[in-house]
Structure 1
Amino acid sequence: MVATETRRHEVAEAAALLRRGGLVAFPTETVYGLGANATDGRAVARIFAAKGRPSFNPLIVHVADLAAAERLAVFDDVARRLAERFWPGPLTLVLPLRAGHGLSPLVTAGLDTVGLRVPAAPLAQALLAAAGVPVAAPSANPSGRVSPTRADHVRAGLGDAVDAVLDGGACAVGLESTILRTRPLTLLREGGLAAEEIEAVTGPLERDVTPGRVSAPGQLSSHYAPGVPVRLGVTVRARDAVLIGFGPVAGDLTLSTSGDVVEAAAALFDALHRADALAAARGAARIDVAPVPEAGLGRAINDRLRRAAAPRALPEA
């Protein structure tokens, strides 16, 4: 994907934009991120302006490898073992900041920790290597809206607010990273890496995924919201709604006809985007979603769906 001369030129241009304080949307295996140089406060401020994002919600910092992460945060033995096992991949580790880290205070939103991730997607890896700086990158969508899993989602949501979009096609995982705080060891957000896989390394995890407690990205109670209300656990099609199906529940769209939660995770945000557009075209009152099992990646899917269905806690940007 990154081997052609044209693609190498695109990556080099995007990396130069990042170093100059620009905003670059790029694909990870989870969702598209809206990237800025995490050491440049003005560039990071542009992320908040572009997204209409609350300033108290911290940003995940993406780096090329474990060595780059260790320059920014303090790793204990557990954190290092997790990084060696799951990086590159859809795991964000929330770690104590290292003295002299150089990150903009806007990145951490006043906390003494930082969320770090090494993404696996080849285009993200190429961009981080070429940029040579840590990249703060929340999802590349207006705050509170559905996360983007295709470049077209980014362009539709952010338009001219982003300086460049690297198009890497559809995201393979399609669900944001799992967030884990290491001191104490606590799951803060369900995501693209199932908690069971982490627990195979660490043992049982404490959980702190209470909506509204903002100690990590993705913990706002109203998040991932389409333009119409969302109702969950629906098994019968209604005339005034667009139905997103799953398994045996057939809908206008479906997350997975076979009931595969991995397939559903990859399809989730694209299905919400499409359902939102379909609801607008039909004049439908809401989006209904079929039940998804509360197990493995199903928990992360349901977490996103509950946030999409929550009352709007913040004014829309």
Structure 2
Amino acid sequence: MAEIIDTADEPERALERALATLHGSDPVALPTETVYGLAADATAPAAITRIYAVKGRPRFNPLICHVSDLAMAEAHAVFDPLSRRLADAFWPGPLTLVLPLAATSTIHDLATAGLDTVGLRMPKGFARTLIRRYGRPLAAPSANTSGAISPTSAAHVAADLGDKLPLILDGGPCPVGLESTIVKVEADGVRLLRPGGLDAAAIEALTGTRLIRPERPGAAIEAPGMLASHYAPAATVRLDATAVRPGEALIRFGGRRIAGEEAATVVLDLSPSGDLAEAAANLFAFMKQADATGATAIAFAPMPPEGLGEAILDRLARAAAPRG
């Protein structure tokens, strides 16, 4: 089983153990502001292969590479002026930029799935400190079995992958609770590849134009999180529920009661006050809690589509998609 180290109680020990593990080409589960990541050296094929093996992840699905500063980012990707403005405004934070690979980049093809672009993000907190100390980008998809619910606590990681990892770094609950927003600057505008923990409206306010939305989920795999079926619990997921069916768990929003909820295996409210940031932070943990009841299905009450609701609804649509 994985060793678990609290990054607040033992920061130096956590860093030293993480560095030793990374140098040994093994992945480390680490906290970020979005979700827990499964991090390994983005320049080392053996390390990247271990990520795919631990997650059971399709190798055509690229990995986000995490950097500690703009100098590291610019060594691996070519920034156009607008992408640089986005980085200046929102890094460190829950934004991933898909950029052309630089000729100088040593990020391995296994991390980019052979594409000529790379998704880069600069995380906050302990993860950024670790990358700075390591000196190279870390590929870090969510620390869970591929396609399953993303982890927002060290306990989630331990329950899913604890027997496959040497080290889990415990930084407490993730404050954002959704994966990063992914965008790509193109000739005709900024394309939203995945809504996430950065509200799309904040990006639109900076650029002065509306983001180009994908026509349908999973149409082309240019970035992580674009598979049609993803973020899925064991139970089936039913959206826009106005009544609870026998054997279902209920996840609602805004304190609004749903018909038949007294018969639900559990009733969870993402945010009784209707706060979308609170709902995003609770989403994956509540999905895991509902799934653990043995419910035949998880019924989700309607959610507002604006703000972070766009990202929440994207995750729910993929969780409810047919599974291959």
TM-score bracket, shorter-length normalisation: over 0.9
Kindly indicate whether the alpha-carbon contact (under 8 Å) linking 1:189 and 1:209 is maintained by their aligned counterparts in 2: no
What pairs up with 1:276-287 in 2 under 5 angstroms? 276-278=291-293, 280=294, 284-287=295-298
CA positional deviation for 1:2: 5.6
| Residue pair 2:149, 2:287 contacting (<8 A) in 1 also | yes
Distance in 1 separating the partners of 2:24 and 2:134: 10
The match for 2:264 is: none
Paired with 1:230 and 1:169, the residues of 2 have a C-alpha distance of 27
1:100 aligns with 104
Amino acid at match of 1:309: A
What residue number does 1:78 align with? 82
Q: CA deviation at 1:249?
A: 2.8
* Partners of 2:165 and 2:81 in 1: CA distance: 38
Task: Report how many residues are paired.
Answer: 307
Deviations 1:6-50 (A, max 9, x none): 221111210221122111010110000000100010110111111
Secondary structure of residue in 1 paired with 2:163: helix
TM value normalised by structure 1: 0.94
For 1:119-163, what per-residue CA distance to the aligned partner results, in whole angstroms no more than 9, with x for missing partners?
11x111221122211100000000000000000111111122222
**Partner residue in 2 for 1:160:** 163
CA contact (8 A) 1:12 1:127 kept: no
More off after superposition, 87-96 vs 150-159: 150-159
For the residue of structure 2 that corresponds to 1:166, the secondary structure is: strand
2:7, 2:14 within 8 Å by CA — same for their partners in 1?
Answer: no
What is the 5 A alignment of 1:285-304?
285-304=296-315
Residue 198 of structure 1 pairs with residue 203 of structure 2: yes
> Percent identity over the alignment?
55
Q: 1:41 to 1:59 in 2, by over 3 A?
A: same
Aligned to 1:149: 152
Structure 1 unaligned blocks of 5 or more = none
- CA deviation after TM superposition for structure 1 residue 193, in Å: 0.4
For the Cα contact (< 8 Å) 1:179–1:188, is it kept in 2? yes
Which residue is equivalent to 2:251?
244
Q: State the AA in 2 paired with 1:193.
A: L
2:213 paired residue among 187, 203, 207: 207
Structure 1 position 218 matched with structure 2 position 225? yes
> For 2:118, what is the secondary structure of its paired residue?
strand
Match of 2:192 in 1: 187
- Match 1:261 to one of 256, 262, 276: 276
CA offset digits 1:258-278 (Å, max 9, x no partner): 111110000000001101101
Contact 1:139 1:147 in 2 (8 A): yes
Alpha-carbon distance between aligned partners in 1 of 2:141 and 2:14, rounded to the nearest angstrom: 21
Query: In 2, Cα distance between the equivalents of 1:274 and 1:261?
Result: 19
Deviation of 1:172 after TM superposition, in Å, equals 0.3
After TM superposition, the structure 1 = structure 2 runs for residues 10-25 of structure 1, keeping only pairs within 5 Å, are 10-25=14-29
> Which amino acid in the other structure matches residue 248 of structure 2?
A
Paired amino acid for 1:123: F
Report deviation, 1:65: 1.0
CA distance, structure 1, for counterparts of residue 211 and residue 153 of structure 2: 32
Query: Distance in 1 between the 2:30 and 2:69 partners?
Result: 17
Identify the match of residue 130 of structure 1 among 112, 128, 133: 133
- Find the aligned partners of 2:186 and 2:72 in 1 and give their Cα distance: 20
**Deviating more after overlay: 240-249 vs 107-116:** 240-249
